[in-house]
A and B are shown apart, each in its own frame.
Chain A
Amino acid sequence: MTDIRPIAASDRAAWETLFRAYGVFYETDFDDQVFDGVWAWLLDPEHEVSALVAEDAGELVGFAHVRRLSDTFTAGSAWFLDDLYVVPERRGQGIARDLIERTALDGAAAGGGTLRWITAADNTPAQKLYDRIATRATWVVYERELGNGTGIA
């Protein structure tokens, strides 16, 4: 049986392997600074980003990164599922859904609100699951890259 649980300090190496593979899926090669920075967030109980992992027989087979937000429409909490990953050989076995269900359960226990996430437009296998367990939103997502403030007096 696969267990869903909060990430623990002992998961660092396995988490990094999975997170690296997740980055590859999205054509991103994370450097050590990213791993170290995100890991520090995940272990900080005060940070808004947290993680769940899926473990089977002592091996991590998936993870979810979730971020707590402040919802101006409710003056309450909202949640954003930043990253969701299951190792290829374990896909189609309900692990992604388990990670989402636990994320939703934890969010409900911590104040409720809306859980949102985005996915690639061409990631149809994932969308098949998402369409079954959530409502497809009609929002359009925009992005604008920002400078990092260097040089501002």
Chain B
Amino acid sequence: MTFRTLVIGAVAVVALSACSTGAPPVASPTPSASSSAGPSGPGIAPDDGGVYPLLPATHPHIQLQCPLISAIHYDSLVIAPADVDGVFVCTAEPWTDAPDGTPQLVQYVDRVDQDDIPALLTAYAVPDAPPTDDNCIMSLQDPLIVWLHVGEDITPVYAPRDGCGFPSAASAEAYHAVRLHRLLVAREKETRD
């Protein structure tokens, strides 16, 4: 199985769950540290119904900064913006032109510029919209997860959702507006059949 097929498979699963119920997957109500599922393989999120990136960064080095645990909605009353030491974004993308021909996952750790954190957290603190009865487009969108570091604790939070369960326009705009500092690039080979 390649990353491409993995992604296509994930698309089908998420699209069905988002539109058949009209509601987004339920995020873990508890702090992330208590629900460490961990990666199940390169580029594979745990199959536990949690909220994960579409194509998660699973490299062990990156897991230290962005552990693959189900993201929750950001609540500024639980994690005050002033207590957030740093915000990190960990992403991955397939690299199919590797010299040895083996598909790889190129993965990144980026730090959100300190000056951009307040606006991002303000946008992420907006409640999810209630599920809509309108027809939702059959598509897949990344939950735009960012990892909040508060002392020793790391909590992934997703972008607030619209009625179809996808990141709202405002939260997506905030996510894409932040300036990033690249800390690490890692590659992971696809090793499964």
Contacts and interface: CB of A to CB of B under 8 A. Distances in A.
Given A108-B64, A109-B64, A133-B85, A3 B111 contact: no
Contacts of B180: 1
A111 to B, nearest CB: 12
Contacts of A132: 85
Interface residues of A, number: 17
B55 interface: no
B185 interface: yes
B86 to A, nearest CB: 7
A50 to B, nearest CB: 15
Interface string A106-129: 101100000000000000000000
Interface string A83-101: 0000000000011011001
Contacts of A5: 185
B109 interface: yes
Interface string A1-18: 111110000000000000
A97 B182 CA distance: 11
A21 B72 CA distance: 46
A102 B102 CA distance: 28
Nearest to A54: B181
Q: Which of B60, B182, B183 has the most CB of A within 10 A?
A: B183
Given A101-B86, A108-B64, A109-B61, A3 B114 contact: no
A40 interface: no
A133 B64 CA distance: 17
Contacts of B64: 105, 108-109
Given A108-B64, A109-B60, A109-B64, A2 B109 contact: no
B65 interface: yes
Interface string B37-61: 0000000000000000000000011
A98 B111 contact: yes
Given A101-B111, A105-B64, A1 B185 contact: no
Given A94-B111, A105-B109, A4 B85 contact: no
A102 B183 contact: yes
Given A94-B113, A98-B111, A133-B85, A105 B60 contact: no
Given A1-B182, A4-B183, A98-B111, 13 more contacts: A1-B180, A2-B181, A2-B182, A3-B182, A94-B111, A94-B113, A101-B111, A105-B109, A105-B184, A109-B61, A109-B64, A132-B85, A133-B86
Interface of A: 1-5, 94-95, 97-98, 101-102, 105-106, 108-109, 132-133
23 contacts: A1-B180, A1-B182, A2-B182, A3-B185, A4-B181, A94-B113, A94-B181, A95-B181, A97-B111, A98-B111, A98-B181, A98-B182, A101-B111, A101-B183, A102-B183, A105-B64, A105-B184, A108-B64, A109-B60, A109-B61, A109-B64, A132-B85, A133-B86
Top-9 shortest CB links A-B: A3-B182, A109-B61, A98-B181, A102-B183, A108-B64, A4-B183, A1-B182, A94-B181, A101-B183
